[in-house]
Amino acid sequence: MDKKLRINLQRVPKHVAIIMDGNGRWAKGQGMNRIFGHRNALTAVRESVKGASQIGVDAITLYAFSTENWKRPKMEVDALMSLLINSLKKELPDFQENGVKVNAIGNIETLPKKAQKVLKDVIFETRNNTKIILTFALSYGSREEIVNTIKNISKKVVNKELLIEEIDENTINNHLYTFNLPEVDLMIRTSGEQRISNFLLWQMAYAELYFTDILWPDFRQEHFYDAIIEYQNRERRFGKTSEQITE
């Protein structure tokens, strides 16, 4: 049976976040270097976005490059930046055809100037697309995001633009990088690792976590649907009891 047919389209997560892990191990298994793994991960990105779009997911966020990733060997970092630039250029026609609105979160100013320009150009070109929002988390760290949020809110308090008593969850949400996105409903991590690695800590407060042993370059649309089916088999209570949910 087609896995897509097993999905209840009325209970699809609005926002899916993915930690794309396993490129290095996949490449090592092929007797190649890590960069080979990164280059062969694009199909997984394409398949995941396509799968999400086809079932009505509103937003998908990919952990593409963390603040910690800058510590990797320069050759790998340079290759990742080059891959980012070339991939965005190559995928733009497909983004337009499939209604994908591209977005980015993180400390974008730390990216190479050329990468910044291409990213901003693609974001501009796709700004009117409405099928799905594809967000790339680049030079992103959730703790850094939260620290920046606290600083920006504190400045408003000091400048008397905001009262301390007015600060609530909505205030914080509106100052995060993801202010224009729904909260994360489902987080997928590939490669068998079971941690969230400083990714969307605030936004994933009530997210369902799904871990799979599949390495990211091997991840396909059917695997994405496996995660959706598992998500729909879970009971999301948000602090309530099962009886309250049923009522």
Give mean pLDDT, residues 13-23: 97
Do 179 and 105 meet the contact criterion of CB atoms below 8 Å apart? no
Say what the pLDDT of residue 245 is. 54
Say what the pLDDT of residue 94 is. 96
The 10 Å Cβ neighbour count of residue 142 is 23
Do 132 and 49 meet the contact criterion of CB atoms below 8 Å apart? yes
Give mean pLDDT, residues 133-143: 98
Give mean pLDDT, residues 123-143: 98
Give residue-wise pLDDT tens across range 65-103: 999 999 999 999 999 999 999 999 999 999 999 999 999
Percent of the chain whose pLDDT exceeds 90: 92
pLDDT at 136 exceeding the cut of 60: yes
pLDDT at 137 exceeding the cut of 70: yes
| Residues ≥6 apart with Cβ < 8 Å to 180 | 103
Say what the pLDDT of residue 239 is. 62
pLDDT at 196 exceeding the cut of 90: yes
198 counts as catalytic: no
> Annotated binding site for Mg(2+): which residue ranges?
21, 208
Chain-centroid distance of CA 86 in Å reads 19
pTM recorded for the entire structure: 0.94
Give residue-wise pLDDT tens across range 205-240: 999 999 999 999 999 999 999 999 999 999 876 565
Six token digits for residue 30? 């092929």
Q: Considering the candidates 33, 69, 107, 173, report the single residue annotated as catalytic.
A: 69
User: What is the signed CA dihedral for 34, 35, 40, 42, rounded to 10 degrees?
Assistant: 120
Q: Which fold has domain 13-141+183-230?
A: Undecaprenyl pyrophosphate synthetase (3.40.1180)
Say what the pLDDT of residue 235 is. 81
69 counts as catalytic: yes
**What is the residue whose two structure tokens read 């009505």?**
56
Give mean pLDDT, residues 11-24: 97
Give residue-wise pLDDT tens across range 169-183: 999 999 999 999 999
- By CB neighbour count within 10 A (0-12 exposed, 13-18 middle, 19+ buried), where does 226 fall? middle
> Annotated binding site: which residue ranges?
21-26, 34, 38, 66-68, 70, 72, 189, 195-197, 208
**Model confidence band, residue 4 (pLDDT cutoffs 50, 70, 90):** confident
The chain-wide mean pLDDT, for the chain, equals: 95
Do 53 and 132 meet the contact criterion of CB atoms below 8 Å apart? yes
Q: Considering the candidates 21, 58, 103, 185, report the single residue annotated as catalytic.
A: 21
